C-alpha cells in the first residue's frame, strides 16, 4: 500500500518509525523544506511544496498513492486544506493525525489570542521581557511592538524578520526539559511567554515552567483545519487506520 505522510512533526516521525520495515506498506514522507537539517527518517523522504491542490492531486496519481496521512503541525493550515482538496479530487482516503491541544490547568495564567497579530498587541505598552517561542515565520508581527525585549528561540537563524532594538536569539529544537526551561526564563528575567497552542509533550515544558514561575502565557489559538476529515491523535491510531484500509485493499 503506497502511503503519503505529510510531515514536519513528532507524530509524523513516530508513524514513519512504525511503518519502516513493514513490507505491506510503502510509505513516503513529505517535508516542506523549512528546516535546513531535518532529523533523519527511516523511510523515503521528499522535500518541497507540491504546487497547491492541483500539484498534490497530480503527485497522488503519478505516485499511485492509496492513502494520505496529514500529520502536519496544527498551525500548518494551508497544507491541510490542500490535502483535503487533493484527496477529494483524486479519490484517495485521507486521515488527519492531529495532536490534542494543551488545556489550561490550575496555576496557569493564560491569555488566549486568536492570531499572532492579536498576541503582539496583548503584550501592551509597558516594556516587558518576552520569551517568543512561535517559530521563525511569524516573528514579523512583533515588529509592531518594539518597546519589548525579546528572547527568540528557533531552529533556523531568524535573519532580519524581527527588526526591533532588543532581540536575543537562541537556536535549539525540541524536546525540552522543564528544569532547563525554568532556569532559562529565570536567567533572562522573562516576564511573559508567547506560544502557539501546539499541543504534544516535546514543547510542553515551557508551559509547566511558566506555571511554576507564575508567569503569564499568551497562547495563540489553532487555525481551522478541514472539518470533514477523519482524525486521530496518535501514531498508533493512524497505524490502526492504515491496517484497516490495507485489509480492504484487494
Ligand atoms: P502551511 O502554511 O500549511 O503550508 C504552506 C505551503 O508549504 C503549502 O501550501 C505547501 O506548498 C508547503 N508545505 C507545507 N507542508 C508541507 C509538507 N509536509 N510537504 C510538502 N509541502 C508542504 O505550512 P507551514 O505552517 O509553513 O508549515 C510548513 C511545515 O512545517 C509543515 O510540514 C509543518 O508540519 C511544519 N511545522 C509547522 C509549524 C508551524 O507552526 N506552522 C511548526 C512545526 C512544524 P504547496 O502548496 O506548493 O504544496
Omega before residue 163 within 30° of 0, cis: no
Superfamily name with CATH number, domain 2-100+224-248: NAD(P)-binding Rossmann-like Domain (3.40.50.720)
Domains 2-100+224-248 and 109-220 share a fold: yes
Question: Nearest residue CA, atom 15 of ligand 1?
Answer: 32
User: Residue 219 pLDDT more than 70?
Assistant: yes
- Please give the distance of CA 187 from its chain centroid, rounded to a whole number: 27
User: What's the pLDDT tens digit per position in 116-125?
Assistant: 999 999 999 9
User: Is the beta carbon of 154 within 6 A of some atom in ligand 1?
Assistant: no
| pLDDT for the residue numbered 37 | 87
Please report the DSSP string for 20-47 in residue order.
Answer: TT-TT-EEEEEE-S-SSSPPP-SS-EEE
Provide the CATH topology of domain 109-220.
Rossmann fold (3.40.50)
Pocket test for ligand 1, best of 10, 69, 72 (most atoms within 8 A of CB): 72
Q: Is-above-0.85 flag for pTM? A: yes
User: Is the beta carbon of 32 within 6 A of some atom in ligand 1?
Assistant: yes
Contact criterion met (CB below 8 Å) for 217 and 81: no
Query: DSSP class of residue 144?
Result: G
| 192 closest CA partner among 171, 167, 213, 173 | 213
User: What's the pLDDT tens digit per position in 220-250?
Assistant: 999 999 989 999 999 999 999 999 987 765 5
Sorted by where each begins, the domain ranges of the chain are 2-100+224-248, 109-220
pLDDT-based confidence at 103, cuts 50/70/90? very high
Question: Nearest residue CA, atom 27 of ligand 1?
Answer: 76
| pLDDT for the residue numbered 245 | 82
Q: In what order do the strands lie in the sheet with 45-47?
A: 45-47, 26-31, 2-6, 67-70, 94-97, 230-232
Amino acid at each position: 500500500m503506497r502511503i503519503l505522510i505529510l510531515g514536519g512533526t513528532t507524530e509524523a516521525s513516530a508513524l514513519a518509525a512504525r511503518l519502516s520495515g513493514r513490507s505491506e506498506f510503502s510509505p513516503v514522507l513529505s517535508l516542506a523544506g523549512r528546516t535546513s537539517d531535518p532529523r533523519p527518517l527511516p523511510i523515503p523522504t521528499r522535500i518541497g511544496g507540491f504546487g497547491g491542490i492541483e500539484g498534490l492531486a497530480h503527485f497522488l496519481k503519478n505516485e499511485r498513492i492509496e492513502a494520505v496521512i496529514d500529520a502536519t503541525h496544527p498551525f500548518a493550515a494551508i497544507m491541510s486544506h490542500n490535502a483535503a482538496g487533493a484527496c477529494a479530487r483524486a479519490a484517495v482516503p485521507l486521515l488527519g493525525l492531529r495532536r490534542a491541544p494543551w488545556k489550561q490547568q490550575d496555576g496557569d495564567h493564560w491569555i488566549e489570542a486568536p492570531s499572532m497579530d492579536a498576541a503582539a498587541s496583548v503584550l501592551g505598552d509597558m516594556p516587558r521581557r518576552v520569551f517568543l517561542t512561535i517559530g521563525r515565520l511569524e516573528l514579523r508581527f512583533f515588529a509592531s511592538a518594539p518597546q519589548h525585549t525579546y528572547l527568540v528561540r528557533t531552529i533556523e537563524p531568524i535573519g532580519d524578520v524581527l527588526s526591533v532594538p532588543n532581540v536575543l536569539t537562541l537556536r535549539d529544537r525540541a524536546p525540552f526539559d522543564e528544569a532547563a526551561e525554568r532556569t532559562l526564563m529565570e536567567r533572562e528575567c522573562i516576564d511573559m511567554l508567547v506560544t502557539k497552542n501546539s499541543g504534544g509533550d516535546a514543547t510542553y515544558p515551557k508551559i509547566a515552567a511558566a506555571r511554576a514561575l507564575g508567569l503569564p502565557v499568551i497562547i495563540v489559538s489553532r487555525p481551522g483545519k478541514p472539518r470533514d476529515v477523519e482524525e486521530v491523535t496518535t501514531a498508533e491510531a493512524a497505524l490502526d487506520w492504515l491496517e484497516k484500509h490495507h485489509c480492504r485493499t484487494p
